[in-house]
Structure 1
């Protein structure tokens, strides 16, 4: 008789995220996943058919979380909204690293994975539109410098997300500190 199922779909996706971030898509496999979960490897197949489906579902789950938080931001004040958006991205800073693996997923092996990746692409577009709108409004309201091209402002903003938090400051405080650094620069 086999081992009793002892992990949930949520636990499976959490571990998938952790392992894909540690090992990359190519280094991630179902045996590795099952070694990190308590329960039979066959339990994985009760949730997903293959590696492609698991990883795509994991990516979609992270994207849904980011999208929900981003779209809930009050955009009345574009500068405040940009700070809140940075906090969302800092809290899920692994999103871009994780989504960077999406191109490796062979969607020919799974229509479910293809649907999840399609959702991710659409959500990514929605986030880009929101970000562009906020930056344009902030620049129009003179909240951002007019002499710096918008793509430069956006590029530096996104690079903040990858700034190593060597002091292990809690994510909300870290995001605020990064935003203050971005908006104020390093001059005294």
Structure 2
């Protein structure tokens, strides 16, 4: 007799994210996925038809979470908004790793996966536009040194996300500290 269905769609997507981050897209297998779930492997197919659908749904859920967090940020103070965005991106530091798998998903295998990937692409554009607006405003308002090209400032900002936290400071405090360091180098002298 098989195992009873004992996991939810949310638990399935949580485990999918974990397996993707540990093994990558190429190493992602339903057998690995099912090992971390309390239920029969066949239960996965009650939620999703194939690997592509599961991975795309996982990516979409992560993107929805990021969009939800960033949409709650008040951008009336562009510098405060940038600091808050940095915190969100640091909390979801593996977000870009997951997005990197999007081009590997065969959209022809699943209309549902193709639909989720469209959502992800549009949401990525939305996030990029939000950041660009904030950085341009910050420079126009004199918060950032105009002699430093904006792409360089943005590049350094994004590299903060991967800065090792050797002191194990909680992410909100670590983000604030890195933001202060970044601003000290990019701020007006």
- When normalised by structure 1's length, the TM-score is 0.96
Gap regions ≥5 residues in structure 1:
none
Gap regions ≥5 residues in structure 2:
none
**What secondary structure sits across from 2:22 in the alignment?**
helix
* 2:102 match: 102
Tell me how far apart the structure 1 counterparts of residues 17 and 174 of structure 2 sit (CA, whole Å). 22
Per the TM alignment, residue 96 of structure 1 is displaced from its structure 2 partner at its CA by 0.3
The number of equivalent residue pairs is 186
C-alpha distance after superposition, 1:29-78 (max 9, x if no partner):
10110011111001111111111000000000000010111122111110
* 1:156 match: 156
C-alpha distance after superposition, 1:107-151 (max 9, x if no partner):
110110000010000000000000000000000111111111111
* 1:135 match: 135
Per the TM alignment, residue 169 of structure 1 is displaced from its structure 2 partner at its CA by 1.7
Tell me how far apart the structure 1 counterparts of residues 139 and 127 of structure 2 sit (CA, whole Å). 18
C-alpha distance after superposition, 1:5-52 (max 9, x if no partner):
111111111111011011000000101100111110011111111110
Q: Please show how residues 28-67 of structure 1 align to structure 2 within 5 Å.
A: 28-67=28-67
Per the TM alignment, residue 79 of structure 1 is displaced from its structure 2 partner at its CA by 0.4
Considering only aligned residues, what root-mean-square deviation do their CA atoms show, in Å? 1.2
Q: Which moved more, 1:108-117 or 1:162-171?
A: 162-171
- When normalised by structure 2's length, the TM-score is 0.95
